Amino acid sequence: MTLEVGGVARRPRVNLNALLIEGRAFLALVLAVVIFSLLSPHFLTGDNLILMTRHVAINATVAIGLLMVILNGGIDLSVGSIVGLSGVVSGYLLQGWNIPFTDRTAYLPVWAVVIVSLIVGASIGLVNGFLIARLKIAPFIATLGMLYVARGLALVITNGVTFNDLRGEPQLGNTGFVRYLASRPLGIPMPIWVMGAFAIIFSLLLNRTPFGRWLYATGSNERAAELSGVPVRRVKIWVYVFSGICAAAVGMLLAADLPAATPRGGEFYELNAIAAVVMGGAALSGGRGTVRGTLIGAFLIGFLVDGLVLVGVSVFWQQVIKGAVIILAVAVDQAQQTLHRHRAGAKAVRAASGGPPDPPDRAVTIQQQKVTVT
Amino acid sequence: MIAEHGCDAPAVALAASDDVVLRAVGIAKHYGVTQALKGVDFEVRASKVTALFGENGAGKSTLMKIMSGVERPTAGHLELDGEIVEFGSINEAAARGIAIIHQELNLCPNLSVRDNLFLGRELRTPLGGVDYARETAVAKELLARLEEDIDPARPVSSLRLGQQQIVEIARALAGDARVMIMDEPTSALSATEVLVLFRIIRELKGNGVAIIYISHHLEEAIQIADDAVVFRDGALVATHSGEGLELPWVVAQMLGGAEIPDRDVSRLFTEVGVALSVRDVEVADTDGSGRLAVDGVSFDVCAGEIVCLFGLMGAGRTELLECLAGRLRAESGTISLNGEAVGSLSIRDRIARGIGLVPEDRQRDGIVQLQSVGVNLSLTTIAALHVPPLLNRADERDRVLAGISEMRVKTSGPEAPIVSLSGGNQQKVVIGKMVLAAPKVLLLDEPTRGIDVGAKAEIYRLLNAQADNGLAVLFATSEIGEALSAATRILVMRKGKVVTEVDPAQADRDSVMAAAGGAAGDLLEAVLA
Amino acid sequence: MTKLLTSVVAAGGLVLVALASPAAASTSVAARPASAGGGEMAIITVDPSNPYWKAEVDTAEAVAAELGYSTTVDAHTNDPDLQNQFVDAAISRGVDAIILDPAGAEESVGAVQRATDAGIPVFLVNAEISEQGIAKSQIISNNAQGAALGAETWVEAMGGEGRYVELFGNPTDNNAQVRSDAYHSVIDQYPDLELLQTETANWDRAEGKTKMELLLSAHPDLQGVIAGNDEMALGAIQALREADRLSEVIVLGFDGNQDAADAVVAGDMVATVLQPIVQGTTLAVQQADTYIRTGETGVADEKQAIDCILITSDNAGLLDNFVLAEAGAEPTASSEDTTPQTSSVTS
């Protein structure tokens, strides 16, 4: 739309820019699909696509929570451990919780198990948020510490073993865990539904609520946001809570899928989640990124990894290729931004003979041309 | 940068007079759309102090950057000793004998004084390592010359601001300069330290060094100047010799005849009611030295008033405003808004109560760079546009468009990236963001810094209109012209205290400047006369 | 808002404490010594979250406690650096013996040497190091022998022909290669058995399931799966179950963990191979005790390989947490290169 408000009428190039970044990841995804389907006749089959999407959904759900943290300019290395911890907590509750100081064993109904596990994830997130927002510990360090704490707690709770018996007993009324969380409504596995739900909810949160505005503002310029009255500390704590909740949800889905709750569940999940967020166009420094982009990034990484297995590439080369693609995606992103800046600068010089003389501001930051679509 | 105006005037040196060391011929500089310098001819003589006067944005700093190698001119050239030169970098200029003492200190706080002095020009041993012993000796010598008893091994971060400025000066002295550019060298110095500096300047003159002196402490600069040059809006508008140089002349040249809307200062405001009441507020210095940046300040601002906090750098204006806004803690004292104490509230709560700040540094504290004009404008009030749980987009759009039109922001629309706006328009957005929150007291720190004249006038007009509607405005500035024309009342601050209160209608510029510049001026007169 | 969050974290905290306390009570980090004021043994294992190594730890603790020693337990997860840390810590504590499941045959030599030089005898369980004369005992299960046994059963079930895939263990663990080689030494003799693809699943059940799902996509007509350990095999079984192909595919595992035994009983897995980890660890601790008291292990050879036992539907029901309940004698250690002990099961 063009607007003539006291001066130059220009069509805003904003939306195009954001689309280009995500568009590039999307193009890469399409390219990957094309290449793999040429290399293997089994890639594009319905069953395989659903299978790969289920794998993607596990990562994407964690990545959506992580996106919130990264938008704030932070990082959450503990998500993998939260996945494991929440799975183990559900497993423990399903197998019977020995109430301390008594001889009784409680078997919670499934909905209670789910809620408790989500609360556990939220609590770890809250601790992270507290450490980072109140005690001003660097996010990398705080969440690295919680990575070990949460993993350790999982080992303590399980005493090292894996909980196998998640199906429950009808007479105890707790049979729903595996039945529902590993079910396939309309033929689509539950993790995919969960991914979709979280994607919609968080997308609304980011684009249609004040919290979303606050988050984008804080990630871009925290000082300016604070002076503008944004509750920066509150925002900072909540994003870690959200991250914990997403990870906890995945922990339960994972446990129901195997079906077994292992204390090592979710190991290294944080790396794939970060890759998905970054490849979807988010800036690790904060203030830039969308749910849509994160989903695309998750699909790209997921299809790439699964595709390599399908095609039979050696295990070690799989790792090399995965890493190379991640680096390439981010490098192209940076190059595009630099190019953009130069073009914008040259354009401004050419336009020198036009408008009224306005003094420039001091050097603007790298991300100057990138804005979100509101 | 591309030579925009193709000023291909014959590159022949003009007739050299014996004592002109460095000459600028037809220097012009563009930053994108902006013309920072418009074809300036300027010369510096050996053994003379040339004082540069001009408001912020007048072009002085830009010219100095070009002369010291930091920037390249868009047009024109420099001549050193009659020979055309081009400096590709600071090091090249420094190698040719041009040293600059920056306004913003360029020291590495984690390194020692000695290391900073020789940064980039370390003294080497025959084996190629650093000769620390020799460096320490030279450092001690330099510091002694400056009559400063600083141990060269101390980390710079442990020094207070004035001492750091001395180190910066020593660094310039350490090289063998022929032209010494001093940009606001005394802003953080005590009166005695200023005297020492002036003694050094006289020594340097004796050694044939040409000195360029830039300072907002007008009286001081006038005392030391052998030649004076005034810049305005990117051009050199006047020259005068040091003899008979008077403050009123300088001020008049600096301001020119710029149109600033008049304010009806005759209205009495006390009847309307005190909006902001400040009593005995003390704010600690943010450098952790334990000193007070604001040392017991008390005043009132009534609804409809536009009060100016006038003072130079280091007076404590910014700290006071940030304290009133809620960012800095008051060590003691009370702050009341319409009778209600707000001293313990967060920034967010204070904005809710009706007091907000438009900060000094737009880039660092004012705009959210990655977002659009609309998002920036609505940031403070977004929660109010909230029909839970989702935002009311239509409402927001209306508000934003109204804001854009009221503030007269030149933009292609609410979706335009904020960074695509000029400085003046960005400032309007920052002000507009607070105005949309319907405050009772609006605080502004240097509201028109780095903004063109047209935008300045619009901002003053806006403040007037808001004040007419009952808003209490408190703004800080170091520009005398702005203070005299935009405010209904001026509070002059110096070194953390309010030293005097002035009625702009009756004040004369000299006395205001003197009050701000303070005792240094008197002492200088006594010593140098 | 802060109140809500605080109550959430308080709730979460209570939950975790409640869950952790009964579990914590049963963790025996330092087992109480018997009345004979014994010494201390350091038990350094790989990863107790795997039931196999859990059994190793539990056995070592129990036997040591019986003999009057207190114990500490550490897990190095196959990381030689961590292993070094734990060994050094044990040396500083001045323990009487170290029971170690080494991380890498080459990488562990240094650590074992250091302990021995400090006067602390080292007894290796489950895996060996590449040099002799340093550790006092190296008690391993004969992985090669066991894997071969398993492979033979699997080949028979496959009818000597068919297309199959392989799930490989953690490539940094020697045993992964040993077992795979042993499998192939049997399977490759049958030209009609075709290996379609090998994927690494790092000994992990979840990864085994993920890789198996993809392998099924790539080779919808596969007929067999050989896995380097039970956890990966169990993951593969779940994938096969979901794809509704479990009844047609022959699955082979290795370790003898309880879940695998149950799977063999249920007919999901054709066979697994019991590593006599309980016997092996028991022997190691006993020999340590003998050495501490007499200065000798009581056994002629340092390297002792205990044979693995094939577990099929015939005897899977008798298996209980790595101990095969049987009336006959328990297998004892044999030196390398002698013929295997007769097992109680004919394959």
What would the pLDDT profile of A172-182 be if each residue is shown by its tens digit?
Answer: 777 888 888 88
**DSSP per-residue codes, A46-95:** HHHHHHHHHHHHHHHHHHHHHHHHHHTT---TTHHHHHHHHHHHHHHHHH
CA distance B97 to chain A (A): 28
Query: What CATH fold (topology level) applies to the domain C144-274?
Result: Rossmann fold (3.40.50)
Mutation target vs A (from B71, B361, B370; most A CBs, 10 A cutoff):
B370
**Considering only alpha carbons, which residue of chain A is nearest residue C205?**
A258
Q: Which tokens go with A9?
A: 């009428």
The three-state secondary structure class of B38 is: strand
Confidence (pLDDT) at A2: 38
CA distance A290 to chain B (A): 13
Alpha-carbon gap, residue C322 to C80, rounded angstroms: 27
Confidence (pLDDT) at B10: 42
Q: Which residues in chain A are closer than 8 Å to B59, comparing Cβ atoms? A: none
Confidence (pLDDT) at B401: 94
Distances (CA, A) of C315 to C148, C272, C312: 18, 11, 6
**Considering only alpha carbons, which residue of chain A is nearest residue C238?**
A258
Lowest average pLDDT, out of A293-307, A325-339, C163-177, goes to: A325-339
C217 CB neighbour count, 10 Å cutoff: 21
Average pLDDT over residues C212-232: 94
Distances (CA, A) of A108 to A91, A95, C119: 11, 9, 53
Closest CB from A231, A361, A365 relative to B362? A361
Lowest average pLDDT, out of A138-147, A311-320, B4-13, B492-501, goes to: B4-13
CB A212 within 8 A of CB A48: no
Alpha-carbon gap, residue C139 to C334, rounded angstroms: 10
Task: Answer whether A82 touches C (CB < 8 Å).
Answer: no
Report percent pLDDT > 70 for chain A: 85
Taking the alpha carbons at both ends of chain A, their separation in whole angstroms is 14
CB B279 within 8 A of CB B503: no
Which one, of A212, C230, C10, A303, lies nearest residue B375 by Cα?
A212
pTM for this predicted structure: 0.78
Confidence (pLDDT) at C148: 95
Q: Which tokens go with A198?
A: 């979280």
CB A120 within 8 A of CB C15: yes
Q: Which residues in chain A are closer than 8 Å to B325, comparing Cβ atoms? A: 227
CB B442 within 8 A of CB B470: no
pLDDT at A352 over 80: no
Q: Which residues in chain B are closer than 8 Å to A227, comparing Cβ atoms? A: 325, 327, 347, 356-357, 359, 365-366
C139 CB neighbour count, 10 Å cutoff: 28
What would the pLDDT profile of A278-331 be if each residue is shown by its tens digit?
Answer: 988 898 899 999 999 999 999 999 999 999 999 988 888 988 988 898 888 778
pLDDT at B516 over 80: no
Confidence (pLDDT) at C27: 39
CA distance A284 to chain B (A): 14
CB A86 within 8 A of CB A247: yes
pLDDT at B182 over 60: yes
Would the CB atoms of B419 and A368 count as touching at under 8 Å? Answer: yes
CB B212 within 8 A of CB B50: yes
pLDDT at B451 over 60: yes
User: How, if at all, do strands B34-45 and C250-252 pair?
Assistant: unpaired
DSSP class of residue B366? I
Q: Which residues in chain B are closer than 8 Å to A213, comparing Cβ atoms? A: 375, 378-379, 382, 391
Interface of A with C in 132-191 (CB under 8 A): 153, 155-162, 164
pLDDT at B57 over 90: no
Average pLDDT over residues C182-205: 94
pLDDT band, very low/low/confident/very high, at B285 (cuts 50, 70, 90) = confident
Report percent pLDDT > 90 for chain B: 27
pLDDT at B160 over 60: yes
Instruction: Mention every residue, 6+ apart, whose C-beta is less than 8 A from residue C48.
Output: A155, A160, C54, C57, C73, C75
Diameter over CA atoms, chain A: 86
Average pLDDT value over all residues in chain B: 83
Q: Number of CB pairs < 8 Å for A and C?
A: 116
Alpha-carbon gap, residue B240 to B230, rounded angstroms: 9
CA distance C32 to chain A (A): 18
Would the CB atoms of A360 and B362 count as touching at under 8 Å? Answer: no
Mutation target vs B (from A201, A371, A373; most B CBs, 10 A cutoff):
A371
Diameter over CA atoms, chain C: 72
Q: Which residues in chain A are closer than 8 Å to B379, comparing Cβ atoms? A: 213, 217, 225, 228-230
Confidence (pLDDT) at C6: 65
Mutation target vs C (from A56, A134, A156, A183; most C CBs, 10 A cutoff):
A156
Touching chains, A (3+ CB pairs < 8 A): B, C
**B57 phi-psi bin (left φ>0, alpha ψ -120 to 50, beta other):** left
Position B266, amino acid: S
Alpha-carbon gap, residue A203 to A277, rounded angstroms: 14
pLDDT at B376 over 90: yes
CA distance C181 to chain A (A): 18
Alpha-carbon gap, residue B374 to B413, rounded angstroms: 8
Alpha-carbon gap, residue A101 to B323, rounded angstroms: 54
What would the pLDDT profile of B114-124 be if each residue is shown by its tens digit?
Answer: 998 888 778 88
pLDDT band, very low/low/confident/very high, at C3 (cuts 50, 70, 90) = low
**DSSP per-residue codes, C214-269:** HHHHH-TT--EEEESSHHHHHHHHHHHHHTT-GGG-EEE--B--HHHHHHHHHTSS
Q: Which residues in chain B are closer than 8 Å to A374, comparing Cβ atoms? A: 372, 374-375, 415
Would the CB atoms of A223 and B364 count as touching at under 8 Å? Answer: yes
pLDDT at B492 over 80: yes
Closest CB from A123, A161, A241 relative to C13? A123
pLDDT at B168 over 90: no
**Torsion angle in degrees (nearest 10) through CA of A169, A175, A177, A178:** 80
Q: Which tokens go with A164?
A: 């196998």
Position A309, amino acid: V
Interface of A with C in 254-283 (CB under 8 A): 254, 257-260, 262-265
Would the CB atoms of A153 and C210 count as touching at under 8 Å? Answer: no
Distances (CA, A) of B427 to A194, A359, B456: 45, 12, 10
pLDDT at B148 over 50: yes
Mutation target vs C (from A86, A126, A319; most C CBs, 10 A cutoff):
A126
- CATH number of the domain at A15-341, please? 1.10.3470
Alpha-carbon gap, residue B311 to B114, rounded angstroms: 33
Alpha-carbon gap, residue B25 to B2, rounded angstroms: 18
Residues in chain B: 529
Q: Which residues in chain A are closer than 8 Å to C27, comparing Cβ atoms? A: 156, 159
Instruction: Mention every residue, 6+ apart, whose C-beta is less than 8 A from residue B77.
Output: B11, B25, B26, B27, B84, B85, B86
Query: What CATH fold (topology level) applies to the domain C40-141+276-306?
Result: Rossmann fold (3.40.50)
pLDDT band, very low/low/confident/very high, at A99 (cuts 50, 70, 90) = confident
Would the CB atoms of B31 and A1 count as touching at under 8 Å? Answer: no
Q: Which residues in chain B are closer than 8 Å to A367, comparing Cβ atoms? A: 369-370
Q: Which residues in chain A are closer than 8 Å to B398, comparing Cβ atoms? A: none
pLDDT band, very low/low/confident/very high, at A347 (cuts 50, 70, 90) = low
Bridge partners (DSSP) listed for residue B334: B279
Q: Which tokens go with A238?
A: 């909540």
Distances (CA, A) of A74 to A136, B43, B333, C204: 12, 52, 37, 31
Confidence (pLDDT) at A367: 35
Which one, of C196, C242, B415, lies nearest residue A178 by Cα?
C242
CB C163 within 8 A of CB C194: yes
Where are the domains positioned within chain C? 40-141+276-306, 144-274
Confidence (pLDDT) at A18: 57
Alpha-carbon gap, residue B42 to B36, rounded angstroms: 15
Touching chains, B (3+ CB pairs < 8 A): A
Task: Answer whether A287 touches B (CB < 8 Å).
Answer: yes
Confidence (pLDDT) at A350: 56
Q: Which residue has the tokens 């929150």?
A: B437
Which residue stretches of C267-329 are H helix? 277-294
Instruction: Mention every residue, 6+ apart, whose C-beta is less than 8 A from residue C258.
Output: C51, C319, C320, C321, C322
CA distance A250 to chain B (A): 26
Where are the domains positioned within chain A? 15-341
**DSSP per-residue codes, B153-205:** TSBGGGS-HHHHHHHHHHHHHHS--SEEEEESTTTT--HHHHHHHHHHHHHHH
Closest CB from A42, A92, A97 relative to C218? A42
Task: Walk me through the domains of chain B, giving residue ranges and CATH numbers.
Answer: 1-97+177-257 (3.40.50.300), 105-175 (no CATH), 274-363+439-528 (3.40.50.300)
**A229 phi-psi bin (left φ>0, alpha ψ -120 to 50, beta other):** left
**Considering only alpha carbons, which residue of chain B is nearest residue A370?**
B370
Lowest average pLDDT, out of B64-78, B85-99, C219-233, C320-334, goes to: C320-334
CB C20 within 8 A of CB C245: no
Which class for B225: exposed (0-12), middle (13-18), buried (19 or more C-beta within 10 A)?
buried
Q: Which residues in chain A are closer than 8 Å to B364, comparing Cβ atoms? A: 221, 223-224
Confidence (pLDDT) at A346: 63
Closest CB from B32, B410, B414 relative to A7? B410
pLDDT at B521 over 60: no
Alpha-carbon gap, residue C244 to C252, rounded angstroms: 18
What would the pLDDT profile of A195-219 be if each residue is shown by its tens digit?
Answer: 999 999 999 999 999 999 999 999 9
Would the CB atoms of A2 and B412 count as touching at under 8 Å? Answer: yes
Would the CB atoms of A225 and B390 count as touching at under 8 Å? Answer: no
Q: Which residues in chain A are closer than 8 Å to C235, comparing Cβ atoms? A: 258
Confidence (pLDDT) at A358: 40
Confidence (pLDDT) at A345: 62
**DSSP per-residue codes, C90-118:** HHHHT-SEEEE--S-TTTTHHHHHHHHHT
- Alpha-carbon Rg for chain C in angstroms: 22
Would the CB atoms of A51 and C211 count as touching at under 8 Å? Answer: no
CA atoms within 13 A on the CB side of B437: 32
Tell me if C40-141+276-306 shares its fold with C144-274.
yes
Touching chains, C (3+ CB pairs < 8 A): A
Q: Which residue has the tokens 């030391």?
A: B224
Confidence (pLDDT) at B234: 83
Which residue stretches of chain A are H helix? 14-39, 46-71, 79-95, 110-133, 139-158, 176-181, 190-208, 210-220, 222-227, 232-257, 269-279, 291-311, 315-350
pLDDT at B333 over 90: yes
CB A259 within 8 A of CB A167: yes
Alpha-carbon gap, residue B44 to B20, rounded angstroms: 6
Confidence (pLDDT) at A341: 67
Which class for B70: exposed (0-12), middle (13-18), buried (19 or more C-beta within 10 A)?
middle
Confidence (pLDDT) at C339: 36
Q: Which residue has the tokens 């030649």?
A: B227
User: Most confidently modeled of A226-240, A303-317, A333-347?
Assistant: A226-240
Alpha-carbon gap, residue A94 to B5, rounded angstroms: 79
Quick one: angle between helices A232-257 and C205-218, nearest 10? 70
Closest CB from C5, C217, C259 relative to A51? C217
Alpha-carbon gap, residue B11 to A33, rounded angstroms: 62
**Considering only alpha carbons, which residue of chain C is nearest residue A42?**
C218
Bridge partners (DSSP) listed for residue B372: B417
